[in-house]
Amino acid sequence: MFKQQNSIDFSLPNWIYEFAKDKSFIKDVEDRMSFVIEASRRNVVENTGGPFAAAIFEIESGKLISLGVNLVTTQGSSILHAEMVAIAIAQKKLGSYDLGGKGIEKHELVASTEPCAMCFGAIPWSGVQQIITAAKDSDARSIGFDEGPKVKDWREALSDRKINVISDIQRDKACQVLNEYSQAGGKIYNSRERS
């Protein structure tokens, strides 16, 4: 008999609760990114996943809604990129699959690295109205991560959907974390070999 699992359950690392608990509001955009990059570093140090983090904030107030980190290797799921985790938790918290719904504050996704093909595709569905990134996708590629087949003009594709894109906020700091991960021999998971 086939047993279809009737739930999907993933755990976030224990450190994340303490890490975020004093950060109800972060006013300044640079500080929001520092917080996210620090979470990506912590994820490496704690050995709880890849060197990526992302958070959802209210754009205007800087209210923190969710913090996600990459959990691919530790939770055994290829869909658990930091952005997907942050989006899933934020939507659960707000009780809506649309973070851009009428009558609610506008939300942004702050991510330590530009999105891969999957996370890029997830952004329009999430309802966020702004994304802010630090490291470039080329920086992730340079340590061996594959960003997947994204449309070349992905920033324009988001802008066309009224999603504002802000790039290169503290890129160097995010790259440092990527490089530290790589130098420490962190797992570079990928899709199949291409040839």
Q: Which residues are catalytic?
A: 83
What is d(CA 32, CA 17) in angstroms, rounded to the nearest whole number? Answer: 17
Residue at token pair 């991960």: 181
Least Cβ distance, residue 104 to its own copies (angstroms): 13
134 contact partners, CB below 8 Å, separation of at least 6: 33, 36, 37, 111, 112, 113, 168, 169, 170, 171, 173, 174, 175
Least Cβ distance, residue 113 to its own copies (angstroms): 15
Residue 58 or 176 with smaller CB distance to its own copies: 58
Residue 10 or 141 with smaller CB distance to its own copies: 10
Residue 7 or 172 with smaller CB distance to its own copies: 7
108 - beta bridge partners? 57, 130
Q: How many CA atoms lie within 13 A of 60 on its CB side?
A: 3
Q: 103 in the Ramachandran plot: left (φ > 0), alpha (ψ -120 to 50) or beta?
A: left
Least Cβ distance, residue 69 to its own copies (angstroms): 10
Residue 143 or 176 with smaller CB distance to its own copies: 143
Residue 74 or 170 with smaller CB distance to its own copies: 74
- Sequence-separated contacts (24+) of 34-37 with Cβ below 8 Å: 34/170, 34/173, 36/67, 36/110, 36/111, 36/112, 36/134, 37/112, 37/134, 37/170, 37/173, 37/174, 37/177
Amino acid at 55: A
